[in-house]
Amino acid sequence: DQQVKQNSPSLSVQEGRISILNCDYTNSMFDYFLWYKKYPAEGPTFLISISSIKDKNEDGRFTVFLNKSAKHLSLHIVPSQPGDSAVYFCAASDLGYGQNFVFGPGTRLSVLP
Amino acid sequence: DSGVTQTPKHLITATGQRVTLRCSPRSGDLSVYWYQQSLDQGLQFLIQYYNGEERAKGNILERFSAQQFPDLHSELNLSSLELGDSALYFCASSDGSGANVLTFGAGSRLTVL
């Protein structure tokens, strides 16, 4: 039973354009969400987070949008750069329960020059 | 360097054997998490410790066990190894308080032959 879903295993985008990565969750108790980026042979690195009291959070080229009613969040990368090519994981947590972070299966983003 | 140290980086062993993976959390972090990533799969949560105590358990097999020591480092013990245990094992740490971020190590790649 996947509580966090990333239905697109892969995504290709032209350099300079917008990348949109999507994530859906099923557990309504989740109230804190994060995006991680992972390069081959490295551990995941934190990108951006959002709590359920917000619907948008920006950090430079990265913006995360949260739609609580739809249990959906998305990561926008503008403009996309070749160095953004990586696997992106969405993660969710119920802050009231042991800080257990549940990760989605990941989306492989390829930014083409 | 994320500050989370995992050893060994690579490990090759045979079915039926037992191995121990070690993790030193980032300085100041009290919570340690273990995740398993099998080939092209997402990050599966195994177990979490906070200041020496088990806090949350995920899909951890009975053949696997973990502990967190007084100096806060953690070990993940995998026994009676099977071919399907071949995977990347990631350790992550956090300060365990409020809405925070997991910091991952580079992972230990286990190959069972």
pLDDT attached to residue A1: 67
Q: Which residue in chain A has the smallest CA separation from B37? A: A105
Per mean pLDDT, which range of A65-79, B43-57, B76-90 is the poorest?
B43-57
Sign of the C-alpha dihedral computed for residues A51, A11, A88 and A110 taken in this order:
negative
Q: Which residue in chain B has the smallest CA separation from A37? A: B104
Whether A103 and B45 lie within 8 Å, measured CB to CB: yes
Q: Which of A23, A32, A101 to mutate to test the interface with B (most CBs of B within 10 A)?
A: A101
pLDDT attached to residue A98: 56
What residues contact A44, with CB distance under 8 A and at least 6 apart? A36, A37, A38, A89, B43, B90, B104
In this model, does residue B98 exceed pLDDT 70? no
Q: What is the mean pLDDT of chain B?
A: 92
Whether B45 and A34 lie within 8 Å, measured CB to CB: no
What residues contact B110, with CB distance under 8 A and at least 6 apart? B11, B13, B19, B21, B78, B81, B85, B86, B87, B88, B89
What residues contact B84, with CB distance under 8 A and at least 6 apart? B38, B112
**Residue B25 and residue A99: Cα distance in Å, rounded?**
16
Q: What is the pLDDT of residues B15-33, one digit of tens each?
A: 999 999 999 999 999 999 9
pLDDT attached to residue A106: 94
Whether A103 and B4 lie within 8 Å, measured CB to CB: no
pLDDT attached to residue B41: 74
Q: Is A103 on the interface with B (CB under 8 A)?
A: yes
In this model, does residue B96 exceed pLDDT 90? no
Q: What is the pLDDT of residues B53-94, one digit of tens each?
A: 998 888 899 999 999 999 999 999 999 999 999 999 999 998
* Burial of A71 (C-beta count, 10 Å sphere; 0-12/13-18/19+): middle
In this model, does residue B99 exceed pLDDT 70? no
CA B57 to chain A, closest CA, distance in angstroms equals 9
Q: Which residue in chain B has the smallest CA separation from A47? A: B101
